[in-house]
Amino acid sequence: MLDPAAAATASLAPGAARAAMAEAMERPGAAHHPDCLCFTEAATLELLGRFGVLAMILWWGERLLREVAVVALQIVPAARPVLALERPGSAGGRVAEAPLLLVRGRLLWEAAGDPSPRWIESLQTAAPQPATALLRLHLPLGGPVAGPVGASPVALRLLLLEVGALARIRAGRSPIPAGWKQEYRPPRHRAAADAAALLGIGPILPRLPVPGRRDIGFVVPLFSFAGLEKVLLNQAAVLRGHGWRTHLIVLGSAAIDRGEEFPASFDTVMLIEGLGRRRSPGRAATSAPAIPNSARARRRATCSGCWRRWTWWSTCIPWRPRR
């Protein structure tokens, strides 16, 4: 899913979607199927969209799925108006009650071909066999709410039912490849991941363009209610008044202050603390996106950095040439 806010252009029936997935799994170089699958309920998606964190959760989930088999989301009410995202490691026994699960399509297809369902069904236990990761989201929901929010076994039940449906499809298909030619093309589901790898940290704000609307990103190291943050809130509110979408991107912290005026200023929030950190000689570690090690990438990054500095100085200070 590139843009969760975009309207769906096509919708497949469950049977047609599974048939398309089977075709892509058997001929990955010729047919495409989404690489990441999400199991959740509409109420969870509505809650994440209302707080502007749906794209962030999907983005982090895709990154974690590069190392683990299943990513589980836990939503916890914050004691004060703070929005925070934690990555504590393994999900353990929290998978069974996670309101949202993310998995790779290839994992479901392989689990459907396993003669024994014990491996995938162990997700219901306190010690699941598949490698898991947890995303713990703190939201300022308000009111005396205790414990996880939206804890439900529905997401895992949907995942296990999907594995069973795919197993029935695999049982009715021949294991012999349909084509006689050897496939040399790379898997199509990997195209987006390969393109993102060339960009270092990858695209952090995937948005489909809307005619007449602009997307404005505010990139800051921290966001707590001080002088600079109040200026950003006011400026973002003005831009939203023009019908544009505003996005807060925080590089150096996994938590932000989210007061009453925040929803009127920003559409989405992106917390990417801990990625792209590097240490320059004689300087402290910085939270800048990593740049690929190629001459062309360095030239493009240097040019874009010069343009950003030129734009900042030209808009804030009258420019005069030096003699």
Cβ-proximal residues to 265 (8 Å cutoff; 6+ apart), any chain = 232, 233, 234, 236, 237, 240, 246
179-188 pLDDT, tens digit per residue, is 656 666 777 7
Burial 227-248 (b: 16+ CB within 10 A, else e): eebeebbeebeebbeeebbbbb
pLDDT band at 193 (very low <50, low <70, confident <90, very high): low
Q: Between residues 232 and 176, which one has the greater pLDDT?
A: 232
pLDDT digits (tens, 9 = 90+) for 126-180: 999 999 999 999 999 875 454 557 788 999 999 999 999 999 988 877 666 666 5
Q: pLDDT confidence of 17, banded at 50, 70, 90?
A: confident
Helices (H) and strands (E) in the chain — how many of each?
9, 11
Which pair of tokens denotes residue 147? 């414990």
* Nearest C-alpha neighbor of 183 from the set 5, 28, 11: 28
Contact assessment for residue 141 and residue 80, using Cβ atoms and an 8 Å cutoff: no
DSSP 182: P
Cβ(120)–Cβ(163) below 8 Å: yes
Distances (CA, A) of 65 to 35, 135, 179: 10, 12, 31
Bigger pLDDT: 110 vs 145 = 110
